[in-house]
A and B are shown apart, each in its own frame.
Chain A
Amino acid sequence: MIEFENATRKYGDKVAVDDLNLLVPAGELFAFLGPNGAGKTTSIKMLVGLLRPTSGTVRVGGYDVTLHHREAASLLGYVPEDVSLYDKLTGREFLHFVAGMYGLDDSAARRSADRQIDAFVMGEFVDHLTESYSHGMRQRLAFAAALLHDPEVLVVDEPMVGLDPRTARNVKDLLRAQAAAGKTVFISTHSLSVAEEIADRLAILDRGRLRSVGTLEGLRKELASHNSSLEQMFLEATGGAASAGKNEPAAG
């Protein structure tokens, strides 16, 4: 469902993502791990069409994101790290606008929005302007907007940032439920425990290069780190604790 083929992205002379090859099938929850500046957000931005690969191809549902952006975008639901909303729209109006953009007619948009409002318990605040929302409320609305059109692929950049433990638990359940329903879920995270807990497969990215990819067990075998924690494997794959964060590209 998601395919990175020799995808490289440069910022001037700096290589943010270097020759990334990755295939994520339908029904899988895939977690992208890496230190700051590893290239996770750049990869996600290439996936959702905000950035173009300097070379290589990114495909969603078989559509090249660069050449057939509209078709690829219609399959995607995206929750960015810093959620951006229209301050002067209410949450409900925002949901109706997003539904309209994905081609849902008025009655379908209303039904779908109502479903998400109920599912994310937004009834109390959804008719207020979004400028008054807290971080958690904005995050809930962003998830609701991303799921309105029942996307085949859900992309979430740092899903746990700023969430309280209960909300974080619910987000984890949501992501697992999506994968169980046959959708593809692609998340980037710093949180090793989250990846360890919910991901079917994980990849470790460091300084733009894919260091390891596979299931948790597979990674243990690959890195010859039997019985070691994901944290130990992560540090090993990214060059140890001391070097983490050194020589990072400016954007990532």
Chain B
Amino acid sequence: MSDVSTFSPAAPHASRLLSPHEEARVFRRLRGRLVANLLRQALREARLRLFAVLALSAVLWLALFELFSRGFQFLIATVQHPDTQAQTVGAIYRVFFVSLMVMLVFSTAIILYGGLFRSRETRLLLTTPARTERIFTYKLQEAVLLSSWGFVLLGSPLLIAYGIIALAPWYYYLLLIPYTLAFVFIPGALGAILCLLFVYFFPRQRWHLLAAVGVGTIAALLWWGWSLAGGARGSMLTPAWFHDVFARLRFSEHKLLPSWWLSTGLLQTARGRWSEGVLFLALTVSNALVLHQLAAWLAHARLRTIYSNSAGASAGRKRTRPALIDVAVYRLTCCLPPVVRLLLVKDLRLFRRDPLQWSQFLIFFGLLGLYFMNTRWLRDDSGQRVWIAMISFLNVGVIGLILSTFTTRFIFPVISLEGRRFWILGLLPVDRDTILRTKFLFAFFGLLAPCCVLVFLSDLMLHVPFSLMLTHLVLCVVLCSGLSGIAVGLGARMPNLREELPAKIAAGFGGTLNLVVSTFYIVVVVVMVAVPAHFWISDGAPANRQLAPTWNQYRWLIAGVGGSVICGLLTTWIPLRMGLRAFRKLEL
């Protein structure tokens, strides 16, 4: 404000209150400008990243499309009876969409919570004359968009693949768009109502309750998946098997479920019955509008009170004693220097107190667990040992990929965030190498525990030989070490000290590089072991887990494991060394 000579407060324009339409236009313009600026900036500064993301999304979409196409072809070829075929496709649609609907309810609720109650933007908007329900709608649209892109990415290849296989008429594809748009707003609005009611009734314990409900839902899904996979083993695709599976899925046929409207409407449209398709579309749209209106009314009546109460509850409870887990970790690490133990406990506390971090761990690992449990029907087919081994390695790869997204999102940004607190860490009698090594230890042990549990579960379900199970556990250690080394090393080498939000740090160039390098590392390490294991099993590997393989059979496998260990050590050491060098020189 230097060089301001005079301040003349008189302005020639007085304010006036906007009509709902004018207000909507102002918000539309705001969103348009934000999106345009974001795209322009991405095209100017991060073109490679933008195209990489688009290309990877396209590859994923095509892979899913191919998978679903082949799945439907297999189904049509295997299940000859038209009624059973129709019933099976209907069941696939209903289960798929009911699962996604449940996930959309929770993801929208969580994203909306962040958008409404933790966002500075909402605080700014609430001080303006904008209608409360308008602010709510603006944030809800954002939350629905963010939570439903996965639904679109997963759902669209399934729907299009079926349309092509079933020779659906052109209007089937046309109706997909309004159906999807209307459908996502139903769980979106339900999630929004859930979010508002949670914060209204439990302003203090809201996160814990939301997490408890989320974990409970995942547990219910796991139980359901377990009971579903356990049915009619050994008699697949027989009439008795179909009968058993359809009976278990009957809950998804409830006519009040929006997923049933969506599934039935689209399947009827695919069969050429457009009037029923339009009828169910009208039902879905009208319910979406009603629920959206209900959510908006609730926001109009209560949002400001909820916001105000929520702000008052942010102080939380007093924590006068250390938590048992902190004490346990401190004691268990007695062999480490006290400074390292203190830093580890501090990082553990920060992790525990940020539900955004551990709830994502729980959701992703819960879903992986559900998938692993559903693979157990494979184990009884002794003729499929090669496939089982391959699937077990694919499972390890998937776990690695999930871990790499976590290291990118949560581990890579920690150095940047720590840099902002360097006024305290930098003055402590702790050298910078210790800080970085502690970050590595925290990441390594934090990833190792869930990784080992999931790999063990996958191997247990698939009944893989003991030697292969041991190989997978070694791979776990190699993966966790390498991924932690890459994330901590690159995080220190490319810190972003200006940004406060970890998600934005992760979305930058360094974060993208971290993800790409991690993905490459996972592929190399897993393939290095999976290929010799494949040849080992194809070439007369043990037919059951009691039979020990010969030394000759072990030779290639040991070479592969040894190679992956060396690769893991190098991938841990090189980025960490680069990171240590950069971190020592870092000026804040």
Chain A residues near B (Cβ < 8 Å): 9-12, 14, 45, 48-52, 66, 69-71, 73-76, 78, 80, 82, 84, 86, 88-90, 93, 97-98, 100-104, 108, 111-112, 115, 119-121, 129, 136, 139-140, 143, 147-151, 163-164, 166-167, 170-171, 173-174, 177-178, 181, 183, 250-251
Contact = CB atoms under 8 A, between A and B. Distances in A.
B585 interface: no
Contacts of A88: 34, 37-38, 41
Contact of A101 (B11, B12, B18, B307): B18
A97 B33 CA distance: 10
| 8 A-B pairs with least C-beta separation | A84-B120, A103-B16, A150-B11, A250-B315, A102-B15, A149-B15, A100-B26, A52-B308
A52 B1 CA distance: 34
Q: Size range of the interface on B?
A: 35 or more
Contacts of A73: 127-129
B562 interface: no
Contacts of A71: 17, 129
Contacts of A50: 123, 126-127, 307-308, 311
B43 interface: no
A251 B123 CA distance: 16
Contacts of A143: 1
A101 B19 CA distance: 11
Residue among B14, B127, B307, B314 with max Cβ neighbours from chain A (10 Å): B127
B352 interface: no
Nearest to B124: A84
Given A101-B128, A150-B15, 13 more contacts: A11-B312, A11-B315, A74-B15, A84-B124, A86-B30, A89-B30, A97-B33, A100-B26, A102-B128, A102-B129, A108-B13, A149-B11, A173-B7
Interface string B293-336: 00000000000110110011111000000000000000000000
Nearest to A155: B127
A11 B11 contact: no
A115 B13 CA distance: 11
A129 B37 contact: yes
Nearest to A167: B1
A174 B169 CA distance: 68
Contacts of A103: 15-18, 22, 129
B10 interface: yes
Contacts of A115: 11
A129 B45 CA distance: 13
Contacts of B315: 11-12, 14, 250-251
23 contacts: A9-B312, A12-B315, A50-B123, A69-B132, A69-B304, A71-B17, A86-B30, A86-B121, A88-B34, A88-B37, A89-B30, A89-B33, A103-B17, A121-B3, A143-B1, A148-B11, A149-B14, A163-B1, A164-B2, A166-B2, A170-B2, A174-B9, A251-B315
Residue among A9, A101, A167 with max Cβ neighbours from chain B (10 Å): A101
A101 B125 CA distance: 9
Given A70-B131, A101-B130, A170-B1, A112 B11 contact: yes
B38 A97 contact: no
A104 B12 CA distance: 11
B546 interface: no
B29 interface: yes
Given A74-B15, A170-B4, A150 B129 contact: no
Given A88-B37, A183-B9, A101 B4 contact: no
A121 B7 CA distance: 11
Contact of B9 (A129, A139, A147, A251): A147
A89 B37 contact: yes
Contacts of A149: 11, 13-15
A98 B307 CA distance: 22
B202 to A, nearest CB: 13
B224 to A, nearest CB: 40
Given A70-B131, A97-B30, A104 B41 contact: no
Residue among B15, B22, B124 with max Cβ neighbours from chain A (10 Å): B15
